[in-house]
Structure 1
């Protein structure tokens, strides 16, 4: 067992950064991280090669995918399949997301995991 300290907690992005991504845990079959976007911020991520679950722990925004748009807030759980375009838009309150990737983030990437923005 392991308690994952800080996972899902709001952290303001570094000066000059649009958002903040921190990987909190990595094992071969999954990874867990925290993604934060400040109110009014922009989400510039690209589709991922892994399935993804977001749990909104704080803030409010809209999630936009080819299937539609939905308002999300604390407690919302969102599944995004591998390869699907998605972004958070209209961030009205500082947004903190607990993110779970299966398998681990970047493990299916063709090239560097750093090439994927999250």
Structure 2
């Protein structure tokens, strides 16, 4: 067992950075991290080669994907299949996301 400290907690991105991604756990079959985008910020991610689950822990935004779009806030759980274009837009409050990749992030690259 392992307690993953800091997972899902808001962190201000470094000066000049559009957002902040920190991977907190990585094993072959999954990885866990935190993705933060400040209010009014830009989500510049590209599609991933792994399936992904987001859990919104703080903030409000809209997620736009190839298959649909939705308003999200604390408690929302979002599944994005591998390869699907997606991004968070209209970020009205600092957004913190707990992110789970299966298999581990970058393992299919």
User: Quick check: TM above 0.5?
Assistant: yes
Cα distance in 1 for partners of 2:28, 2:68 equals 32
Alignment of 1:22-33 (within 5 A): 22-33=22-33
Gaps of 5+ in 1: 110-118
Q: Which residue of 2 aligns with 1:113?
A: none
**Whole-angstrom CA distance in 2 between matches of 1:66 and 1:24:** 28
* 1:43-90 per-position Cα deviation (integer Å, ceiling 9, x unaligned): 010000000000000000000011221000000000000000000000
* 1:63 corresponding residue in structure 2: 63
The whole-number CA distance in structure 1 between the counterparts of 2:68 and 2:31 is 26
Aligned to 2:47: 47
State the TM-score, normalizing by the size of structure 1: 0.92
Length-normalised TM-score, structure 2: 0.99
Query: Superposed, which structure 2 residues align to 1:66-105 within 5 Å?
Result: 66-105=66-105
Determine the C-alpha separation between the residues in 2 that align with 1:101 and 1:2: 17
Total equivalences in the alignment: 109
- How far 1:12 sits from its partner (Å)? 0.4
Deviating beyond 6 angstroms after TM superposition, the runs of 4 or more aligned structure 1 residues are none
